[in-house]
Structure 1
Amino acid sequence: TDDKSAGAPVGKMPAADMLSEHAQWCETGGASGQPSVFDGVDLRALKSIRGYNLTALSAKRAVFYGLDMGGVQLQGAHLEEADLRSVNLRGADLRGARLARARLDGADLREAQLGPLMIGADRLLPADLTGASLKGADLSGADLKRANLADAALNRAILHGACLKQAEMSGAVTFGAKGLDTAA
């Protein structure tokens, strides 16, 4: 990848163990395990974190390039400016995730949940993709209800069957996007 993907190498920390601890922390409601922070870390060497429960993970500016993250749970995660290019996030739960300025070019987000996360009886936390790059990403069947896509780059993105009800699209670039229907 290019020099903009440079993060701290995963070899400097037991990343796989830390992710397992975080998943355990999520699954036990904090009774065991511990939350993890991967801000600026290069996680490409992991190859797959398919199906992990990583709710509320902090991985700002982290590099996930090309990882298999199918079905991963990242509700409310902090992924601002993360490199998620060519990542498999098919069926992932990203409700309320913060993905501002993240790079998701060529990512597989089919059937991903990018709608709001209910954080209280009457409080919703929308997914934030402000300024994110989703060029050529496949968002077929994805739920983007109420997502903030302001200033996002959706050039050549595939949006067939994606739900964009009440999504904020001001300033979003959609040139060449396929299947865009903001009423759906």
Structure 2
Amino acid sequence: MATDIKEIIIQLDLHHLWIETIGEKGEKLGIDEIDLRDVDLCQYPLDQANITACTFDGMDLHDKDISSSLLCSSTFISANLEGADFGKSNVSYVNFTNADIKGARLTDSECIETVFVKADLSDANLVAGLFDGTDFREAILLNADIRLAMFERVLLNGAILTGICGIEEALIKSINIGTPEKPIMLMGKEARIWIQNNSLNKLNDE
């Protein structure tokens, strides 16, 4: 769908006003199937918005507040999201393939079938997140915090889990260390032990 940049800017301005006036003025942002790659989002808040099936691929959104938003089915492929805040957001079915998500906050986020393939989540805060069918294959979760997070059917084949913390406080229901086509499922205690063992792996010296 073609993007009318002027119309999007108007909606972003109205959303900014809506946030500043706590809903007294302006209008909450609600967009669907919009390619935002030609829109400069630097000065606009993206928290508390409904932004579904939109395209952010390759964009620089470091330290961006995208908390408490509905982002289902949007794509952030190869985007810079270092330090971004997705706290309490619904990022189910979102594609973060190859994204830089170092130090990002995903606390209390909902990640159903979210794709983090080859994404860098080093030092990310995943506390109390819901990860159901989430794809972390070949992702970097170096020193990530998973306290109180729930893992169910989470794909971890090839993921770097060195230094991951909060494993004992996480609810580990099941993980898949195979592929979607040929799953190798580990349940409960067995899954937790596998994650613990992999969190102790030394990083290969390059």
Deviations 1:90-127 (A, max 9, x none): 00011001111101110100000000xxxxxxxxxx20
What does residue 168 of structure 2 align with?
A: 165
1:180 aligns with 2:195: yes
Deviation at 1:44, TM superposition (A): 1.4
Alignment RMSD:
3.0
1:30 is aligned with what amino acid? I
Percent of pairs with identical residues: 17
Matched with 1:85 is: 97
Q: Which of the numbers 109, 112, 119 marks the counterpart of 1:107?
A: 119
Cα distance between partner residues in 2 of 1:106 and 1:53: 23
Matches within 5 A, 1:42-57: 42-44=55-57, 47-57=59-69
Which residue matches 1:136?
A: 138
Counterpart of 2:152 in 1: which secondary structure? Answer: coil
Equivalent in the alignment of 1:118? none
Determine if contact 1:65/1:83 at 8 Å carries over to the other structure. Answer: yes
Q: How far did residue 57 of structure 1 move?
A: 1.4
Amino acid at match of 1:170: K
Q: Which residue of 2 aligns with 1:156?
A: 158
TM-score, structure 2 length as denominator?
0.67
Partner AA of 1:75 in structure 2 = G
Normalised to the residue count of structure 1, the TM-score between the two structures is: 0.74
- Corresponding position of 1:41: 54
Q: Tell me if structure 2 keeps the 8 A contact 1:18–1:36.
A: no
Partner of 2:82: 70
| Matched positions, count | 161
Q: Which runs of 5+ in 1 are unaligned?
A: 1-7, 116-125
